[in-house]
Structure 1
């Protein structure tokens, strides 16, 4: 079986230990009654509610606009189906295969809740925000199943959908398309949770928002945004901050991309565009299918796969993120933040690189072909190249093909994840906030990824959700132990603001003068000081 097919099979088998449909359960929220179901997870009962709408469908005239609160629904809403994704363009074989079973559409603003057995005392809440570069993804993904975390950590878990790509992040600088509406979606979902989570046994005064990649960047955006005031108390940021230069735009950049899409679908000309006639162009775009707009966006944005992005100098992000942090315009919340050891290698499968580039030995590719291909592979994640940094990373690597590939994926990892993460943690800790940092280093012996890829971007998600505990033979005993450790880290941080390593080891706090992280690997937990310090000193000049 091809490695990617095995990966897809692996992803689709995640719920092996989540079984035993018992009976329906009905809960009343402010909008009406909602039907969920009880499931048994590791001998614990969990109530699962999936596909609860939190906003009026953003269709027709509401496309591109901020979401509007859904006030009521009639009857009992069925929240037993887990199959709604926001419309998006396909990317590579991985996304096509994993998400092909999901009906994507614009009526997608739903959230999910997993609640352990209710007690008199309300429980802490974890809200998951998925990643995907703000252009792809969904909360409806087996590795985001919150039932195990709810069952083992005795917390209420929620996850949310939000609009993606041009539908979620076109900024035309007018009320009809103010930009960042995908982030406004998230904020409205958090507001819904404040209003209703008590009905599921959750404590609205103890909410932790948690995300990975663009989801983590979203968490950072909420830390910065006045729109999200009083909606959460703690944050977990996995592999992403708003400091990454490749995942944020100016309004001008967003309008350039929007005009390119509008021209391609016949809604703009040299005389009529989003600058001169924004309302006219937006009205035209609303008559185009959402699928066409997403597909054309991906074609217009190529070779970059992340086209429409959050913007700043607007209502949601009034200031450039790094400027806001430096000036103290952010929420003073406790933060757990971290990365995986090989962030950049995921670019080899998202989108899919040529097979010869994935080989361990690289025997079937010559040096020049490799250099071109690996630069293109990494470049698909970037807005633009910085020639002097390409030269820095490729120095002394021209005669070693494996080293050349390694240096380029390190360049991506440092630029997009490691160095922005360190700089964010330094700024956030400056006023005395508690910041805890980790480096996830566990690689399963059953990993479907090539050995040279190590622990790629996003491979920590399933562990922090505790899912390998229910994989059966799909995971090793070491995987299960790591899942227990990392789920406990999440649970302890959510409850106390201090992550626990399950022993007497005290997790040190991070600061600018004490840049320390815990390297998460079984039986060898280590303190790491000054991770990627030399490289990150160079990248400071570009943030």
Structure 2
């Protein structure tokens, strides 16, 4: 945020316009842009945002205060700083060697695709007593910004290789039978109630399966899509749907679906278009890295993406210099205009119907359940503090 203030105050000296600042980021960077939409101190500091495969509503991107405290206490225990008084614990952690903290930070009891320390939903400084989760649900964030949301075809595979390695950490195309598919659901979504896990097994299952014991690529691909949908894709679509609803003079919204495998990718071909794979195209790697021997269609796609991104940063609308009718990127509002831009090499850059309706309805129901549990936790915590205050007043007056 401090950097944004500096840019606003100094960009004119570099030939820039302080009223046309664009933030863009991938994964956690995309989630950070949403955090800036919520933060009161970031209001009017940027005009456009490009969110590549990420949103602050992603399970991995933001913790409740209680979860952040739990992780901190776990780390304190691991490095020998578990003290009775919180101030003593904090003092001990601050005095601990940095390497000791780094060596133990990944030994916390973490869920699937959970990171040790992330943005906390409530604080006194950045969110200024606002709540990140509640602000997202109630639309309490800046709406005057133009937003571009991005989705990659194979968001889940990267994480499955690390978290479900016995099934996915292999050179050849993974194949699963139905029991192994169910095991992946149980492990990836262990933090969800049985109702949600069973629903996921149903939604992502093969209705034409006649031999549950037979291993197929279908079930492996469904785990890829399922993990990508819950942890990335569906939250981006949800925010895109909500952003302009019941808001006058809201910014414009655009969505892309990136589906171009890289010929320079050192990973097995079956991994597909994984999380983060659009980045090299955004920065023009296929154009200038001649030694990697990118194909001509990959170079052309990179040129188009650079033009789209640059145009969006300049005008708030992603356009090509010499656009054909199929290259025109449609605006998205989630109601009347629901097309995305399909980004793939060759002649495949074109508008496409939105996807993932059934899958995202499932995960939004799960997110609703998580949100209601979070609100209940806040109410319980508030009631406890009020009760404690009442007891103290009674003791003081008696």
Q: Pick the TM interval, shorter chain.
A: 0.7 to 0.9
Partner residue in 2 for 1:261: 75
Partner residue in 1 for 2:391: none
1:509 lines up with 2:327 in the alignment: no
Give a deviation string over 1:350-378, Cα, whole Å, max 9, x none. 56835864343447x887667657865x5
Partner residue in 1 for 2:298: 479
Match of 1:204, SS state, is coil
The 2-side partners of 1:350 and 1:501 are apart by 38
Match of 2:17, SS state, is strand
What is the Cα deviation at residue 424 of structure 1? 0.3
Give the length in aligned residue pairs: 347
The 1-side partners of 2:12 and 2:362 are apart by 47
Partner residue in 1 for 2:116: 307
Match of 1:358, SS state, is coil
Partner residue in 2 for 1:246: 60
Relative to structure 1, is the Cα distance of residues 433 and 421 closer, same or farther in structure 2, using a 3 angstrom cutoff? same
- Contact 1:325/1:427 (CA < 8 Å) preserved in 2? no
Partner residue in 2 for 1:539: 363
Match of 1:202, SS state, is coil
- Contact 1:357/1:370 (CA < 8 Å) preserved in 2? no
1:202 lines up with 2:46 in the alignment: no
Give a deviation string over 1:105-124, Cα, whole Å, max 9, x none. xxxxxxxxxxxxxxxxxxxx
Matches within 5 A, 1:34-433: 187-269=1-83, 272=84, 277-302=85-110, 304=112, 305-315=114-124, 316-317=126-127, 318-321=129-132, 323-331=134-142, 332-350=144-162, 353-354=165-166, 357-362=169-174, 372=183, 376=187, 378=188, 386-393=196-203, 395-396=205-206, 398=212, 399-430=214-245, 431=247, 432-433=250-251
- Contact 1:501/1:507 (CA < 8 Å) preserved in 2? no
Partner residue in 2 for 1:69: none
Give a deviation string over 1:356-407, Cα, whole Å, max 9, x none. 64343447x887667657865x56xx86574224422553364333222111
What is the Cα deviation at residue 518 of structure 1? 0.7
- The structure richer in helix per residue is 2
Match of 1:203, SS state, is coil
Greater alpha carbon shift after TM alignment, 445-454 vs 227-236: 445-454
1:488 lines up with 2:307 in the alignment: yes
- Contact 1:261/1:300 (CA < 8 Å) preserved in 2? yes
Match of 1:517, SS state, is strand
Partner residue in 1 for 2:349: 525
CA root-mean-square deviation = 2.7
Relative to structure 1, is the Cα distance of residues 190 and 356 closer, same or farther in structure 2, using a 3 angstrom cutoff? closer
- Contact 2:182/2:201 (CA < 8 Å) preserved in 1? no
The 1-side partners of 2:177 and 2:215 are apart by 11
The 1-side partners of 2:173 and 2:260 are apart by 23
Relative to structure 1, is the Cα distance of residues 350 and 460 closer, same or farther in structure 2, using a 3 angstrom cutoff? farther
What is the Cα deviation at residue 537 of structure 1? 1.4
- Contact 2:282/2:306 (CA < 8 Å) preserved in 1? yes
- Contact 1:234/1:335 (CA < 8 Å) preserved in 2? yes
Relative to structure 1, is the Cα distance of residues 286 and 458 closer, same or farther in structure 2, using a 3 angstrom cutoff? same
Unaligned runs of 5+ in 2: 368-398
- The structure richer in strand per residue is 1
Partner residue in 2 for 1:90: none
Greater alpha carbon shift after TM alignment, 416-425 vs 383-392: 383-392
- Contact 1:393/1:407 (CA < 8 Å) preserved in 2? no
Give a deviation string over 1:68-122, Cα, whole Å, max 9, x none. xxxxxxxxxxxxxxxxxxxxxxxxxxxxxxxxxxxxxxxxxxxxxxxxxxxxxxx
Unaligned runs of 5+ in 1: 1-186
Match of 2:63, SS state, is coil
What is the Cα deviation at residue 515 of structure 1? 2.1
User: Could you state the TM-score of these two structures normalised by the residue count of structure 1?
Assistant: 0.59
Give a deviation string over 1:20-78, Cα, whole Å, max 9, x none. xxxxxxxxxxxxxxxxxxxxxxxxxxxxxxxxxxxxxxxxxxxxxxxxxxxxxxxxxxx
The 2-side partners of 1:391 and 1:536 are apart by 14
- Contact 1:357/1:374 (CA < 8 Å) preserved in 2? no
User: Could you state the TM-score of these two structures normalised by the residue count of structure 2?
Assistant: 0.79
